[in-house]
Amino acid sequence: MRNRLRAVRDKQSGIEEAHQMDSSVNVASASAESAPPAEADFWDVTSVVRELANIRRNWRDINAPHAEYGVESFPSRVRLAKVTDELSGALFPLRLGPDFVRRHNEDTFVTQSLQIALSRLHAQLRLELTYANHEHDRATVDAMATRIVAAFSSELPNIRRLLDLDIEAAFRGDPSARSLDEVLICYPGLLAIIHHRLAHALHDLGAPLVARIVAEISHERTGIDIHPGAHIGRGFFIDHGTGVVIGETAIIGDNVRLYQGVTLGARNFPADPSGALIKSLPRHPVIEDNVVIFAGATILGRVTIGAGSEIGGNVWLTHDVAPLSRVFQAREQNLVIRPGGEFSGRNPGTEDQDIEGLNAKV
């Protein structure tokens, strides 16, 4: 397996080096006439470079106790974006792959896409693991990355099965959806959950930084913020999606539906005696099966929303909710101010308001 990885990496690196050489020639020829001679230091960048270097050194010295990784290289957001696109195409070749893919060549396309994507992923994992485990030698880090990629690859069929259920849930839950294909190709909630299923698998396999980058790529693309540590069950649907936030320790059951602007967040952040926040404590909600949470609702803290419940729009919750509950805001007061400052009107669905009492209060 290591030989196959090396062969694919060599082929990939050769293509990328050729591309970089072509790019550098083009850039050099385009800017040769306009750029001032380097030795002239036309913009006085030497002093700027020196000052920036001093700032970096000072920052690293001050923040050394918080350093998690090294200082030479980190996983690349650009390359991981390519990896997620390639993995998405491999999972759904006829819908998320390039337009030349057909049924007669989709297996070939999936094979090539996975070879390239997993090799690129291996390279990014090595960067994370090298600096998260600086005491290990290169061979050990390479073996760790290989184990993660192999385990992640074996999870892809299960991820595809989960995503099929997510697509079906979206189709059932949205009356405007005309087909399963439309849901997969067009819905930002599906794009977010594809990224999350991939990121969550990497997070659980011991690659939290790469997983977080994949999650933030999705956040940038969709406006949906799901931490890769969140556990999400089968048949999950986010309708519209913009502004949804799901925290690290949230647990979401099966057949849950969220609308735009929903927050599953933390209520407080315990600190240790030095004042530093204690990491990874369970602090986000538990949403049981078959729950619907409407737009703008905010649920904070390690509370449980019981199975089969509905949480209305713009509701603010910091306590448990029993199964089969319906939680809504109080109905609005429909009051009209008449000339002279008197009120008239009623609350929809209630008895007439005591107009004289309201006038007295005013």
User: What pLDDT was estimated at residue 26?
Assistant: 46
| Portion of the chain with pLDDT greater than 90, in percent | 64
Q: Does domain 243-329 have CATH number 3.40.50.980?
A: no
- pLDDT > 50? residue 133: yes
Residue reference for tokens 């470079």? 49
More confident residue, 24 or 109: 109
Q: What is the pTM of this model?
A: 0.78
pLDDT band at 269 (very low <50, low <70, confident <90, very high): confident
* Whether 265 contacts 246, CB under 8 Å: no
Helices marked H in the chain — which ranges? 2-31, 45-62, 77-91, 93-96, 106-132, 138-173, 180-186, 188-204, 208-222, 355-361
User: pLDDT tens across 176-190, in order?
Assistant: 999 999 999 999 999
pLDDT band at 64 (very low <50, low <70, confident <90, very high): low
Q: What is the mean pLDDT of the chain?
A: 84
CATH of domain 1-14+68-223: 1.10.3130.10
Q: Where in the chain is the domain with CATH 1.10.3130.10?
A: 1-14+68-223
Q: What does the pLDDT average to over 111-134?
A: 92
- pLDDT > 60? residue 15: no
Contacts of 294 by beta carbon, 8 Å cutoff, 6+ apart: 259, 262, 310, 311, 312, 313, 315
Q: What does the pLDDT average to over 12-24?
A: 46
Q: Where in the chain is the domain with CATH 2.160.10.10?
A: 243-329
User: What pLDDT was estimated at residue 307?
Assistant: 98
